[in-house]
Amino acid sequence: MVTACNNGSNTDMSYKAAINDHYKAFPVCIWSQAKKFPVQAATSDDAKTEGYDALTQEGLLTRTTAEKKVLIIASKQVNNYDLSDKGRTSWTPDSSQPGYGNFCYGNREVTSIDNSTLGTNGSGAKTVDLSYHYQIANVATWANSQEMKTAYPGIASALDANPSDKATLVMTGDHWEFNK
C-alpha cells in the first residue's frame, strides 16, 4: 500500500497525495504487455516497423538490417531492433519476466477531486470513495515527439486527455492509503 500523510484531515490535497503516490509505482507505458528485445520485424510490415522506427528515431533503439532465409531459395529483408544505451536508461524492466520490459513515459496525477463520500469498512476503519480527474504528468521528452504520437496513438490520446476515475482510500493511523 502507498500512503500519503494528512494528519487525519479530510482534504482534497491529502486525497490527491494518496492517489498520486500510488500511481508513481504504476507508470503509463507504450505497450499493454511487456516486450523482449532484441526483436526482428520484416521491412515490409509497416505496422510493426513504424513503432520501432519511431523509437529508433528517438534514440531508444538501434536498427540493423539483415536478410532472413524463409525457404531454401527465398529470403526477406528484416530489421533487427535492440535497446540503445539511451534506451536502457528509459527501459522499465518487468521483474516477473527477465529480459522483458516496456518504455514508460509518465504517471497519473490527479487534477481534481470531483466527489468524495466518507464511510467505514468492515473493520471499522474510515474510508473515502472518490471520483477524480487526472492527467499524465512527468512525461518523458521522447514521448512528446510527433513521430511517437503517430506511431503510438495511445500516447497522443493519453497526453491530450483529462479522464476520470474512481478510488477508495482507507485511513490507516494518521494517513490515507490507496485501497482500489
- Cut 0.85: pTM above it: no
Q: pLDDT tens, 31-42?
A: 999 999 999 888
Q: Around 132, how many Cα atoms within 13 Å sit in the side-chain half-sphere?
A: 25
**What pLDDT, on a 0 to 100 scale, did the predictor assign at position 176?**
93
Q: pLDDT tens, 86-98?
A: 999 999 999 899 9
* Interval 142-157 mean pLDDT: 94
Q: pLDDT tens, 121-137?
A: 988 889 999 999 999 99
Rg (C-alpha) for the chain, rounded Å, is 21
* Interval 151-171 mean pLDDT: 93
Residue 92: count of CB within 10 angstroms of its CB: 13
